[in-house]
Amino acid sequence: MAAQMATTKVPEVRDITRIERIGAHSHIRGLGLDDALEPRQVSQGMVGQLASRRAAGLILEMIKDGHIAGRAVLIAGQPGTGKTAIAMGIAQALGTDTPFTAMAGSEIFSLEMSKTEALSQAFRKAIGVRIKEETEIIEGEVVEIQIDRPATGTGAKVGKLTLKTTEMETIYDLGSKMIESLSKERVQAGDVITIDKATGKISKLGRSFTRARDYDAMGAQTQFVQCPEGELQKRKEVVHTVSLHEIDVINSRTQGFLALFSGDTGEIKSEVREQINAKVSEWREEGKAEIIPGVLFIDEVHMLDMECFSFLNRALESDLSPVLIMATNRGITRIRGTNYQSPHGIPIDLLDRLLIIATSPYTEKETRQILKIRCEEEDVELSEEAHTVLTRIGQETSLRYAIQLISTAGLVCRKRRGTEVQVEDIKRVYSLFLDESRSSQYMKEYQDSFLFNETTQPTMDTS
Amino acid sequence: MEAERILQYLTEVEEAAEDVLANKQQIVDLDTKRNMNREALNALKHEMASEEKVKVCFGNMFIKFPKAKTKEMIQRDQQQLDNEINNLRQALKDKLNRLNELQGKPELTGYNLSPLSNVEVKAINHLIKR
């Protein structure tokens, strides 16, 4: 049985049916690398950015091997050059077993939690602990239940339970407690049941297929299962992966385990964290747990301020630390919370610890490819000329703007009952929706007629 | 030449697979025996509570034996079976890992961990039974 358990993979816990909306990066399936880590030009939704993708691939391999826990990576580049896409690609390629936590830099600002608390929670969400649960169970199909009631009507009942698998059959003597729980579960001949050896808990798995014809009139909720194989007394081993944060939450006494579901967990005392750390390292020493350093991705990292950066510096040194991936689109700018200028808005001492991956603007051919992929993702048919026009728009304004036009043009096209988006549709939405540069052009021309205009105000620092 | 190598590889995989299957079958056989012993012990306790001596079947011969001694004998046998099954289960994991390795499948994660104790499982149950 252990082998059967082992060969059939542990069912995925996160398997919840959900309707996937078409997000900005929903077309990304991985980093698009081949086995030798060489990037393919177009693969898994990724286009171009060969050098950065290769770099990300190297880091991915190291994460998988568990080599670079406690290190940090910065993805830097202009807006719309695929920084988030690369991070998403890493997340997809890591699979479900490695924890990946994504957050935006501004998420840490909350009234309920201090900034460092929010950061430490994010850190601990990104560290997985693998543990194993082992139970001895008796699993079989009920052949017969025989219960002897004492003639006097009172007194202990005794009985016999016959269970079988495809290989064997045996008779168990039943005590009064067992009889009670069997009748409570309404177990009858033909049911497939498991009995937990340690607790004596009985659970019904369903009815055996061989007995399917016994009763024609059966409720829809009756489940049919195969008669179990192999030995009757089995050992069931299940491996779970939980994050450190989840363990923190159940152990944080003021909150109780319900906090996990309400979403708002509040602050967790540092003593609780220390206790958990101690327990987990004790488990690790006893061979009861494996630590899986995951990935924490902080987008728009320039939104963090000085306090957070120094916290990061410290947190990366801890022995329970995930791989930190950050992304920013800023150049040399002011560090938040100070008056100092620094590259990427990140203090030099933190920058020194980072591996930096740069992304570069897409070429025309790449833009064309990305637009094509997005069209497929959003289920919009694009004619050849319209594609060329859209690529042009993407080059001259921004890739994001061009992507926005896809679905809007698709709508216009559907309205005139066309099957394929034509140049006219693109033109129409181009005139309806302004891009960033045309909008600011418009502002400059008509700023006098807007309210509260102060021409002397300095422009926003986005350099 | 090429064919020979493939054949050799396939033989190796098949052997490993056969090994796993044999191991599984052995566990089943031992468990059958264990259950039969358990039934015997129950019968001795309930159905033959008053008897002094019982008839025990060795091979194809019935021998009359003192009850206490029979009980002790079966219990010892039972203990040995438990140990043997445990060892086989441990060996099964190694064999399965070897088979996976030969087939180029990734090693099963976490199966060499020792299990959490009951108390620990209970404490963490809320997480596991999401």
Tell me: the pLDDT tens digits for A372-410?
Answer: 888 888 888 888 888 888 888 888 888 888 888 888 888
Q: For position A460, what pLDDT does the model report? A: 59
Q: For position A7, what pLDDT does the model report? A: 42
Is the pLDDT reported for residue A3 higher than 60?
no
Per-residue buried b or exposed e for A101-116, using 16+ beta carbons within 10 Å of the residue's own CB: bbbebeebeeeebeeb
Give mean pLDDT, residues A144-162: 82
Q: For position A264, what pLDDT does the model report? A: 52
What are the tens digits of pLDDT across the range A405-452?
888 888 888 888 888 888 888 888 888 888 888 888 888 888 777 777
What are the tens digits of pLDDT across the range A317-351?
887 788 888 999 888 888 888 888 888 888 888 88
**Which residues in A149-187 belong to E strands, given as ranges?**
158-164, 169-174
Structure tokens at B41: 């012990």
Helices A384-396 and A364-378 sit at what angle, rounded to 10 degrees? 120
Cβ of residue B129 closer than 8 Å to a chain A Cβ: no
The interface pTM score, or ipTM, of the predicted complex is 0.81
Cβ of residue B96 closer than 8 Å to a chain A Cβ: yes
Q: Closest partner residue to B92 among A3, A240, A290, by Cβ? A: A3
A364-447, CATH topology level? Helicase, Ruva Protein; domain 3 (1.10.8)
Residues 224-263 of A with CB under 8 A from B: 230-233, 235, 237-240, 242, 246-247, 250, 257, 260
Q: For position B129, what pLDDT does the model report? A: 63
List per-block mean pLDDT (blocks of 10 residues) for chain B, which spans 130 residues. 90 92 92 90 82 83 87 92 91 88 80 76 67
Give mean pLDDT, residues A127-142: 89
Is the pLDDT reported for residue A208 higher than 80?
yes
C-beta atoms of A231 and B39 within 8 A = no
Residues 56-75 of B with CB under 8 A from A: none
Question: Which of A131, A203, A257, A291 is best to mutate for the B interface (most B CBs within 10 A)?
Answer: A131
Is the pLDDT reported for residue A227 higher than 50?
yes
> Which CATH superfamily, name and number, covers A120-292?
RuvBL1 DNA/RNA binding domain (2.40.50.360)
Task: State the pLDDT confidence band at A77, using cuts at 50, 70 and 90.
Answer: confident
Per-residue buried b or exposed e for A329-367, using 16+ beta carbons within 10 Å of the residue's own CB: bbeebebbeeeeebbbbbbeebeeebeebebebbeeebb
C-beta atoms of B110 and A130 within 8 A = yes
What are the tens digits of pLDDT across the range A13-72?
444 444 455 677 777 888 888 878 888 887 887 887 888 888 888 888 887 776 766 788
CATH 1.10.8.60 domain span(s) along chain A: 364-447
Contacts of B89 in chain A (CB under 8 A): 2, 235
Q: Closest partner residue to A240 among B42, B89, B128, by Cβ? A: B128
Per-residue buried b or exposed e for B3-29, using 16+ beta carbons within 10 Å of the residue's own CB: eeeeeeeeeeeeebeebbeebbeebbe
Residues 158-187 of A with CB under 8 A from B: 167-168, 170-171, 173
Question: Which of A134, A139, A164, A253 is best to mutate for the B interface (most B CBs within 10 A)?
Answer: A134
For B1-107, CATH number out of 3.40.630.20, 1.10.3720.10, 1.10.287.370, 3.90.1150.10 equals: 1.10.287.370
C-beta atoms of A288 and B115 within 8 A = yes
C-beta atoms of A242 and B128 within 8 A = yes
